[in-house]
Each structure stands twice: as structure tokens, then as C-alpha cells.
Amino acid sequence: MKINLKELLPIQKEVDKVVIERLGDGVKVDQLILAFQVELFEYFNSIGSWKWWKQNHKLNKERVLDELADCFAFFLAILNKSEEISQLRLGESIIDSYEKEVQDVLTNLIENQEKELEDPMDLVNNWILIIGAAHETEYTISTSNRFAIAIFIAMMLFEDITWEELTNAYRQKSKVNIDRQRGDY
């Protein structure tokens, strides 16, 4: 799957602009990273496969994509804010390096998936466990890597999912988020 974060950054910039108009420009990158992490775990919760104590969980593609769209929103907000800081401090862009990192991690996961586990849900649960326990184990995973893993998990859950389908969910959620902000959410 070929990703293109650059095409989505202007959309998130518009969402961020509406939020800033309402709340002010006091959001820091660390706050955005925390928001991304919260949304990532809401995404995992919508998948539910890691809930070994539940026997009746049904995977709902729309709900999963809606939660993944929230991950997209905060990851792109992180990129926009980081880009702004990089341009001010260094006079250079960081977008290409972030996009390459996400693409490289995703490509590596795709190429190595068959070596991991035979059952895709075992692989999904493994990645959820690794991310969920990252501070408890030997793993340290960057936000970019977590974002790439989130996309990879969607690919494992829905075999035929496309970048277009993922980004359409994000685009639709962005419109909802703008409406929410304008409606005193």
C-alpha cells in the first residue's frame, strides 16, 4: 500500500484552524501525541479481538475505520505542528522524513507478515499487545511507527482495504470534526 500523507495535511490544517479559532493556539505536540495515543487505544477497543474474556465481539468495519480516522487526525495534527516548529527553528521541512518512516515501517510489516503468524488475528492481537504494553516490555515504539502499525492492523482485518478507503474515512471524519467545532462540541 502506497501512502500519501501530504495529500491529507491540508485537510487537517483546516480542521486545526477551526479548532484554533475556537480554542486558541495553545496545543503542544506532547498534547497531540497523548490525544493520538488515546485514539489509538479507542481504535484497538473497536477491534476488540484482544478481549479474550468476550466471546460475542463482532467486528464492525465502519466503527473500526471511524476510530482509525481519529488516529489519522491526531497524527496529521502532530505532523502539521511539528512542521511548523521545524520551519521556524530550522527553516526546513520534516514531512518527507515522517512520510518515509511510516511508509518504510508499513512496507516492512507487509513484507514480513507471512513469517510472523499464520492467523491474521493472532498477528493483530500481537501488535495490539506490543503497543499496549510498550512501556512494560523491551519495546519502544515511536508515534510514527504506531501509526504505521495501526494502518497495518486495518490491512490485516480487512484484506482488501485500500489507501483510498482509509483516507475517505479520514476525510469524512474531518468534516464531522469541523462541524462539531463550529457547533460548540
Average confidence (pLDDT) over 124-147: 77
pLDDT at 144 over 80: yes
Phi-psi region of 97 (alpha: psi -120 to 50; beta: other; left: phi over 0): alpha
pLDDT at 182 over 90: no
pLDDT category at 114 given cuts 50, 70, 90 is low
User: Could you tell me the pTM of the whole model?
Assistant: 0.88
CB-based burial, 21-57: b 16+ in 10 Å, e otherwise = eeeeeeeeeeebbebbeebbeebbebbbbbeeeeeee
What is the predicted pLDDT for the residue at 58?
80
What is the predicted pLDDT for the residue at 152?
93
Phi, psi of 178 (to 5 degrees): -65, -45
pLDDT tens by residue, 4-32:
999 999 999 999 998 888 877 778 899 99
Burial of 119 (0-12, 13-18, 19+ CB in 10 A): exposed
Average confidence (pLDDT) over 98-113: 90
What is the predicted pLDDT for the residue at 115?
62
pLDDT at 140 over 80: no
What is the predicted pLDDT for the residue at 53?
75
What is the predicted pLDDT for the residue at 32?
93
Cell (9 digits) for 100? 518515509
Phi, psi of 111 (to 5 degrees): -65, -30
pLDDT tens by residue, 51-97:
777 767 788 999 999 999 999 999 999 999 999 999 999 999 999 99
Please work out, in degrees rounded to the nearest 5, the angle formed at the alpha carbon of residue 165 by the alpha carbons of 47 and 119: 40
Domains and CATH numbers, the chain: 9-182 (1.10.4010.10)
Please work out, in degrees rounded to the nearest 5, the angle formed at the alpha carbon of residue 40 by the alpha carbons of 34 and 16: 60
